[in-house]
Each structure stands twice: as structure tokens, then as C-alpha cells.
Amino acid sequence: MSAYKDYQINRRHLLLGAAAFGSLGAIAPSLLASGAAQAAGVTGTVMTGSHWGVFNAAVKDGVWSAVSAWDKDPHPSAQLEGVMDSVYSPSRIKYPMVRKAYLEKGPDAPRDDRGGGEFVRVSWDQALKLVVNELKRVSTTYGPQGVYAGSYGWKSSGKLHNCQSLLRRMLNVGLEGKFVNSTADYSTGASQHMMPHVVGTLEVYEQQTAWPVVVESTDVLVFWGADPVKTNQIGWTVADHDAYPYMEEFKKTGKKVICIDPLNTETAKFFNAEWVPIRPHTDVALMLGMAHTLYAEKLHDEEFLDEYTVGFDKFLPYLTGETDKTPKTAEWAAEICEVPAAQIKELARLFKSKRTMLASGWSIQRQHHGEQSHWMLITLASMLGQIGLPGGGFGLSYHYANGGAPSANSPVLSGITDGGKAVKGAAWLTKAGAATIPVARVVDMIENPGKEFQFNGKTDKYPAVKMAYWTGGNPFAHHQDRNRLVKAWQKLETVVVQDSQWTATARFADIVLPATTSYERNDIENVGDYSIKAMVAMKKVIDPVFESRSDYDIFAEISKRLGKEKEFTEGKSEMDWIKSFYAAAEKQGKAKKIDVPAFDDFWKAGVAVFPIPEKSKKFVRHSEFREDPLLEPLGTPSGKIEIYSKNIEKMKYDDCGPHPMWYEPIERLGGPGAKYPLHIDSAHPQSRLHSQLCGTKLRAGYAVAGREPCLINSKDAAARGISDGDVVRVFNDRGQVLAGAVVTDDVRPSVIRLFEGGWYDPVEGGKAGALDAYGDANCLTPDIGTSKLAQGNCGHTGLADVEKFTGTLPELKVFTAPKGA
């Protein structure tokens, strides 16, 4: 023992001094250098823009500390608070990462643990080497259809760092366009394909009859499956919120507002509206019942139908039941939609007797046979005969990005192109090259390479995709039938995800690249999707955190490694591009005689606001068509509103006929063979942008027992022994999620509301059928196309049941807020 002590004493000084530091450098590294750092970053206020609006960021020593709304924002969104959180969230992707098994074995690695959370940090160089080699390998081995770059989602605002365009630009210039693309979106999948057949435009993304006209002339304002008070918080470019003061004005008039919705919405409460608690998924039946009433009572506008529409005569036998022995009477409709027949008739008469605006949301088309909804709405509006009159007719975008806010006389900014045209003989433009699929059929494609599919009159085959590169989106939030997706995802050999957040999709990737948020780079954007009232300098608020890089830099680097840097960048830096977009806007300004400030002045001021002419405030949608249908025809084959479409007739689809019809969806309340008793209303959330900001402080304002809230009617709750605040399990044959019960009669009986966009948090990551601990509604929804015509998603179709959860509560792991935080 004494010898040991001697040894100890002798060893005591081994570690002394600088020599020890030196010899043990690698295991006792020096992380500090002498000399204080230069004051890092700016101190002051930086104005920038986002989907939630223009805002000011308070910055101290390069660290963002607070958010305040732009003083010209008439109705700042409460969601702004969450924007800063998303930048400094522990859920940020900080470094390039590779799935552990993939790092060991590459694309041959077992894929069944994708989503299991086993990642390893690698250098940017190693990560990009893997990405580039894989792009080459897949396109060489499997041909031009091997790489899927139909990446979709609400990418950040900004004309340059448009990650989806940049991804395709990189593939166009660097991989000769060898990739599979997607078309359309999850928002309006059904209507954006149906509307061109009916009114000749997308209609869902068109300026609406201006709000001042609605305030002045509309007597009855109907929000049909629309909740603009909630959804106008956000905009695709930078939200202007210009609709809000007009909604206030309308409210002050005391004129009638009706909300047809399974929920007593924010909008219904704001306007103190009459709530028509329709059974979900039955809007077409209700419209038919109203149409039948108008016809039966000779209230329909024959003159309008004759002059401005085609095919009412072919629709009529269906309406009256001549063709199918089922007259679509108010009584028939009442059975389906649970709105009393007398009320249906009253509403039809009211709409006819007053100047009525039918303002519809998109929820009613984001469901099985969703093509019918707006087609029938326009048919009903045609029978009312007020289309093109001030304050009358229909509108499909009052709830989106402040549609109806009067447009400024302003230049529209261009943005980075995907480079398709820049590539001579791009393979994807040829028949032999890559394909395009309807965006919501992505899982069907992965599962069924070579399978034929129908799409808007064409027949095509699914490409055999082996690799997916996803950026600016989160299919593990927005796509339906999560468990089908989890399984199908395993068929992909390689998945690359480029994002700023550890989204569920990033967790299901092989290679993860950390992108900056838009607040860590410079960009430029218009303010107001419809008002286009300003241009905002989206100035960098802070330097990139950790090792994140801008989307532009990442794709420029990949292009460089593919030997095409110059083609990708065109020799331009970030600011060069921004200036070039601005220069194009200046040119437009000259042509339009708009005073556009010089770039340096604009950049210094941070924003350039343009005047809104009186003419814009008087805009009436379809008024020109109404005034002169011959000189101002619609873009349909007949130039008129097509209640009957010969083009659709030629498609001979069994699930989408040539005129609007009531089709039974695969499942609905009261429908044939309905297996579960409750409808899942998976509307857009109040305090998020789809899934964005779910990981921020905003969640504290709505989460129940830490989970996504599930609204349930008091009767349904009582029948199941569920109390407010209980953790409940929502389940059907497709999946199961936990959520926190909110017992309220703001939701009609037999309907539960679980907002879409709750972060998927499987108890066993990567396992199909796993219990989702947080409350991702899309674990429960079906992954089917709306019909062969549009192949849109059916995110608002789906029945389920609810029970009080009595098992051991699984911990939530999707948010990184640690214990005690």
C-alpha cells in the first residue's frame, strides 16, 4: 500500500503545466484564443419580411432578441412571436448529418430504421460528396427518372432563396434535368384543375371582388368552409393583412354574415355570424338542395344562365332527378347534410333576394370528389345570377393571403428561375426524359413504379424513383396516411433533406443538410399576394447559426461539384441577384409610370410602399365578362361558365362526370358503411403555418397536456367519459394519435377538430402503425386522389373514434425543450 502511495505521490505532478496541455492537446483541447472577439454582428433594428408579415427584429451584438410588427401592418399576426423562436430553437439542424447505417453502408443500408433517430455528424465536404455521388449514381443507374425533386411545401419567403426553384435549377444545370417533378399543390389540388374547365382560370389564386366593394354592396356575406380571420394571418409572399380593416368595416355595417362550417369558427365569432353547422363533406348536397329550391320556386336567373353559362340544360335533369330518379330537393339534401330542409330553402331564397357573396374556402375541395365543390358552388352562383355584379357572385380566395385587398399600382418582383429553359435539350422536356406527377400522388408513385395513372384527361405511368431530395417542405406533416408514407419511404434508396429544422421529414432522411432560415440571409419579396402593395428588403437579421448555409450557397456548391457552378450562379452573388430582380422591377415601374426608388435608397429604407389607386378599390371580379361576354370571354372552350364540360365528358371518368354531381365519398358521417362515428376536421391551425412554428413558444398557447388539442362536442365527450384536458387517443384503421381533449360546443356533434400540422412524433420512430404521441392529424386521413381528374389530396376526408387514454403516457420527443425549461 505504501508503494502505491509513493507511486501516487510521484504521479501527482505528471499533469502539471503547459507541457501536459501540449501532450494531451487532442483530449484537452484549447477552445479559447487570447484576444476578445470583435463585437459580433450588428446592434440595432433590422426590418425584414416573412409569411407572417413585415417585422422589425431587435438585434444586440448580432443576437436577435425581440420582434415587433411593422408600423404599417394593419393587423399583425400573433404568430410573429414564434418566428424568432424558430431561429433559436433547439430543433434547428445545426450541422450536416448522415443516418448512421447509411454512413456505414450507403444506399445498401437497411432502411427499416429510417426515422429511428440514429444520425452522425459529418463535415460539409463529406455530406456534399455523398449527395453528389448519389445524384450521379442514381441517374446513371436508373436513368433520368431516378431522382425525385418534386419537393413541395411552404418554403420561406424570398425571391432568391427559393429552395425548391434552386433545387430544380441545380438539377437542370448540373444533372441535365434528370429528375422527376411534381405539379399542383396540396392547398387547391382539386379546384386548380377543375376551375380552368369551368371558368377558364385557376380562380383559387385570382384577385377577388375588392373588399371595399363587398363592404359597400354585399348584403349577405357567406363564408363557406372558410375562416379568413384565422387564415389571412399568413401569406405566400409576405403577408400584408390588408383584409382585416375591411372585415372590421363590414362588421360595423351590421349586415348579415353566415358561416357554413362544422365549427363555430374564428370568423363566425368575429362577425357574430349565423352558424350553419353542416355535416362535413356534404357541401355539394347542400348546394344541390339550394339549387333545387331555386329551380322549383322559379327563382333561378334564366337570363344569366342563358347568356353566361353553357350546359345548365344538361345539368337540370340531374338536379330534378330525371336521370337518376333522385330529385336533389332540400329534403334530400337535409338527409345528407343535416341542415334542415326549411333552412336550406330559406337560405336559397335569402341568397336570391339579397346581394350575396359566396366566399368559399378550400377545405371543401380538399376531400374525396373535391372537384365537385367549387363547380357546384359556381353553378349555384350562376343560378343566383349575381356573378360579375358588385358584391355578388362567388369568391374562392377571400380566406387566402388577404384576397380582395385592393391591389396597388406596383411592380411585381421576378425571382430565380429553376433553370429549365437555360438548359439546351433538357432531358425532362423530352418524352424520354423525366416525368411530372400530381404532387399529392407521391406515395402512390413510390409504391407503384410503372403503374398507369389518370390525370386531367391524360394517362401516364409512374416513374421508378429511387432517390428523393426534399427542401422547403415537410411531407411527414402535409401528406395523408402517415403510416402508408412511413412504409413507402423505405423503398427509397436515398433521401436528402435540406431544412433549417429537424422536421419529421428530416428525421426520415439519410443525408440532412442544415439550411439557414430566411433571417440569416438577404433576400427581397413583395408584400401582399394580392395587394402587392410594397417591396421589402428581407435583410439578414443575424449571421447563420452553427454550420447552416443558405439554400443558394448549398446548391451553388453542389452545382460546382457537378461541374456547373457558372451555369448555376451566372457569376452572381446573393446581392447581385437581389439587385437584378430589383432592376427588373424598376424597368416595370418605368413602363407603368410608377415611381420606384433607386436600389440603394430602397435597401436603406428597407421597404418601398406603392399607392393603391381608387380603381383597385372598385374591382369586381368577372365584371368585364358580365359586361361583354363576347369581347371578354372566359378562358373555357365555350368562353362561358361551363356547368357542363365537353372536355370532361370526353375523359369518361367514373369519378368525375361532365357536370357537378353529388358523389358518396369513401367515408363520411351518415354515409353508407361508415365504420367510425366521428369526422376529423383537420383545418389549418390558428397559431401555426401548417406545421411551421409547431416547435415554438406559440404551442404553449394551445397545447393540452402538452399535445395537440382535439376539440370534441360535449355530447360526444360525455358519451365517452372524456373531460376537458384529458389525453385522448384518436384512432381508425389507418393510424392512432394522442391529443388533448378540449370539450366545447364550438364544434358540432359527431365532429372532432384536430388541426393539421402537429409534428408527427411516433413512439417508435420509423415503424408503421406506431402511436403518434403528439397529434398529427394526417396519421388518420386517407391517401387517395380526389378523382382521376385532379388527383388532389383528401386531407379533410376521414372518420375516426376517440377514447380517453388510460395507458402509460409516452413522452413527447419531437420538441427539444428540455426538462425544466
Partner 1 sequence: MADRNIMPMPSSDRPLIYRWLSGLFARELDIEQIELYAAPDGRAFLDRLAMDDAFLPLVSAIRGILEDEQALHGRMLDLRAAYARLFLGAGGRRSAPPYHSAYASERGLLYQTEMRQMTDMLRELDLSVVDTLKEPPDHIAVQLSILSELAQRALEAQNQAPPPERTQASRRQIDFIDTHLLSWLPAFRDDCAAHDPSQFYSLAAAAVVTFLRRDRDDLATAEESEN
The reply to whether 10 sits near partner 1 by the rule CB under 8 A is: no
Minimum Å gap between C-beta 235 and partner 1 is: 25
The H or E element that residue 802 is part of is: strand 799-804
Catalytic residue among 64, 154, 246, 428: 154
Task: Give the whole-angstrom CA distance, residue 67 versus residue 232.
Answer: 20
Shortest Cβ distance from residue 81 to partner 1 (Å)? 10
Q: Which CB atom, from 126 or from 217, has the smaller least distance to partner 1?
A: 126
Beta-strand pair 356-360/393-395: parallel
Pairing mode of beta strands 452-455, 458-461: antiparallel
CA distances from 19 to 9, 28, 389, 522, 652 (A): 19, 12, 88, 47, 85
Angle formed by the axes of helices 283-296 and 330-337, nearest 10°: 160
Taking residue 123's Cβ as centre, other Cβ atoms within 10 Å add up to: 11
Q: Angle at the Cα of 464 (from 795 to 422), degrees rounded to 5?
A: 90
Give the one residue of 42, 47, 88, 109 binding partner 1; rule: CB under 8 A. 88
CA 377 – CA 364 distance, rounded (Å)? 10
Nearest Cα to Cα of residue 308 among 221, 378, 209: 378
Residues 650-709 close enough to bind partner 1 by CB under 8 A: 696-697
Q: Pick between residue 63 and residue 609 the one whose CB is nearest to partner 1.
A: 63
Q: Hey, CA dihedral for 727, 728, 730, 735, is it positive or negative?
A: positive
Q: What's the CA dihedral at 190, 195, 197, 202 to 10 degrees? A: -110
Q: Residue 715, interface with partner 1 (CB under 8 A)?
A: no
> Phi, psi at residue 207, to the nearest 5°?
-60, 140
Q: How far is the CB of 104 from partner 1 (least distance, A)?
A: 7
**Cα atoms in the Cβ-side hemisphere of radius 13 Å centred on 153:** 26
Residue 271, H or E segment: helix 266-271
Which window, 9-17, 524-532, 567-575, 625-633, contacts partner 1 (CB under 8 A)?
9-17
Site for partner 1 in 591-610 (CB under 8 A): none
User: How many C-beta neighbours within 10 Å does residue 3 have?
Assistant: 7
- Residues 18 to 37: which contact partner 1 by CB under 8 A? 20-21, 23-37
Q: At closest approach, how far in Å is the CB of 119 from partner 1?
A: 4
Nearer Cβ to partner 1 (43/272):
43
Cα 754 to Cα 56, 82, 729, 760: the distances in Å are 33, 20, 12, 13
Please select the residue that binds partner 1; options are 44, 112, 121, 604, rule is CB under 8 A. Answer: 121
User: In terms of CB distance, is 566 or 813 closer to partner 1?
Assistant: 813
| Site pattern 285..324 for partner 1 (x: CB under 8 A) | ----------------------------------------
Cβ distance 164 to 155 under 8 Å?
A: yes
Tell me how crowded residue 229 is: count the other CB atoms within 10 A of its CB: 21
Taking CB under 8 A as the rule, does residue 3 contact partner 1? no
Q: Is 104 in the site for partner 1 (CB under 8 A)?
A: yes
Lookup: cell for 196: 380552368
103 binds partner 1 (CB under 8 A): yes
Closest of 560, 212, 245 to residue 406, by C-alpha: 212
Q: Nearest distance from residue 39's CB to partner 1, in Å? A: 9
The 38-77 contact track toward partner 1, x by CB under 8 A, reads --x-------------------xx-xx-------------
Q: Which of 259, 260, 286, 545 binds partner 1 (CB under 8 A)?
A: 545
| Distance in Å, CB of 694 to partner 1, minimum | 12
Q: Give the nearer residue to partner 1 in terms of CB position, either 447 or 547.
A: 547
- Residue 816 found at the interface with partner 1 (CB under 8 A): yes
| Annotation says 152 is catalytic | yes
Contact call for residue 195 and partner 1 (CB under 8 A): no
Please select the residue that binds partner 1; options are 89, 494, 687, 713, rule is CB under 8 A: 89
Determine whether 275 is an active site residue.
Answer: no
Stretch that binds partner 1, among 113-121, 201-209, 526-534, 780-788 (CB under 8 A): 113-121
Burial of 524 (0-12, 13-18, 19+ CB in 10 A): buried
The cell for 706 is: 402538452
Return the residues of window 740-769 that contact partner 1 according to CB under 8 A: 761
Rounded to whole angstroms, the Cα distance separating 792 from 784 reads 8
Contact with partner 1 (CB under 8 A) among 72, 94, 349, 617: 94
Nearer to partner 1, 23 or 323 (CB): 23
CB 66, CB 58: distance < 8 Å: yes
**Alpha helices by DSSP H, 593-720:** 599-605, 614-617, 623-627, 646-651, 714-719
Nearer Cβ to partner 1 (673/818): 818
**CA distance linking residue 182 with residue 634, whole number of Å:** 27
Measured from the CB atom, the residue of 117 and 677 that comes closer to partner 1 is: 117
Choose which of 327, 716, 807, 818 interacts with partner 1 (CB under 8 A). Answer: 818
- What SS3 class is residue 570? coil
- For residue 112, state whether it binds partner 1 (rule: CB under 8 A): no
Catalytic residue among 152, 205, 462, 502: 152
Return the active site residues: 152, 154
Residues of the shown chain interacting with partner 1 in the complex, contacts defined by CB under 8 A: 8, 11-17, 20-21, 23-37, 40, 60-61, 63-64, 85, 88-95, 97, 100, 103-104, 117-121, 502, 507, 545-547, 696-697, 761, 811-821
